[in-house]
């Protein structure tokens, strides 16, 4: 089953899901990444004032907005580097709940996001009548943990892709 279609989902489609997306693309996997939050949220200059954007706002626009607000601050905390990486992968953050694609495996990066994905599936009619494996790997939302999480996700997906019967083998693989 080497042609598995993977979705990686975090809250804002900025850090954890995009780091895993980048790793999986480099390994040749068919992958998309998403967020489940109401808005795309990035840390602001103070904890009580995050930078908020709508899903679909291009990463280029987010990058330029952060650049204008405080180039030094957002360079130091790594946000400009992260958004620059993202814009080389895809045009903009995408919201999971508006996707109509069918995935074989959906990997979430925190329990709350997992719950939102399961709730979304429970609230809609089945279109494809085929199983999807939804797996959660709790990853702290920082640069270092996102990289470690991406390695773990990449290893897991590599093992899944080697399976001839993922539905039957998934318990053992996990």
Domain boundary among 94, 109, 130: 94
One domain, residues 20 and 102? yes
Same domain, 156 and 169: yes
Which pLDDT score, from 0 to 100, does residue 118 have? Answer: 96
CATH number at residue 21: 3.40.50.2300
pTM of the model: 0.93
- Of 77, 94, 111, which one is at a domain's C-terminal end? 94
Specify whether the CB–CB gap between 40 and 12 falls below 8 A: yes
- Along the chain (174 residues), what's the average pLDDT of each consecutive run of 10 residues? 87 97 96 97 91 98 97 96 97 96 96 97 79 95 96 96 87 83
pLDDT at 1: 44
Same structural domain, 55 and 88: yes
Same domain, 27 and 68: no
Residues 30 and 43 in one domain: no
Regarding whether 110 and 83 lie in a shared domain, the answer is no
DSSP 5: E
Residues 102 and 122 in one domain: yes
* Domain count within the chain: 2
Are 141 and 151 found together in one domain?
Answer: yes
Domain hosting 141: range is 1-36+98-174
- Distance, CA of 154 to CA of 26 (rounded, Å): 10
Are residue 103 and residue 163 in the same domain, yes or no? yes
Q: What is the pLDDT of residue 2?
A: 59
Q: Are 132 and 107 in contact (CB under 8 A)?
A: no
- My answer on whether 108 and 90 are in the same domain is no
Per-residue model confidence (pLDDT) at position 144: 96
The three-state secondary structure class of 154 is: helix
CA atoms within 13 A on the CB side of 132: 21
**Cα separation of 171 and 140, whole Å?**
24
Please count the residues of the chain.
174
- Say yes or no: 84 and 106 in one domain: no
Instruction: Based on the fold, state whether residues 2 and 85 are members of the same structural domain.
Output: no
């Amino acid at each position: 089953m080497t042609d598995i279609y993977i979705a990686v989902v975090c809250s804002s489609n900025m850090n954890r899901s995009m780091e895993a997306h980048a790793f999986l693309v480099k390994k040749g996997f068919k992958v998309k990444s998403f967020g489940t939050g109401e808005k795309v949220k990035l840390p602001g200059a103070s904890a009580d004032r995050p930078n908020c954007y709508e899903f679909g706002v291009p990463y280029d626009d987010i990058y330029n907005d952060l650049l204008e607000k405080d180039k030094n601050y957002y360079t130091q905390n790594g946000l400009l580097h992260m958004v620059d990486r993202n814009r080389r992968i895809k045009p903009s953050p995408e919201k999971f709940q508006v996707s109509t694609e069918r995935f074989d495996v959906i990997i979430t990066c925190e329990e709350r996001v997992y719950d939102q994905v399961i709730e979304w599936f429970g609230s809609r009619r089945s279109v494809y009548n085929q199983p999807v494996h939804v797996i959660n790997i709790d990853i702290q939302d920082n640069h270092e943990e996102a990289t470690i999480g991406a390695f773990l996700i990449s290893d897991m997906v590599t093992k899944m892709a080697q399976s001839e019967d993922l539905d039957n083998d998934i318990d053992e693989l996990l």
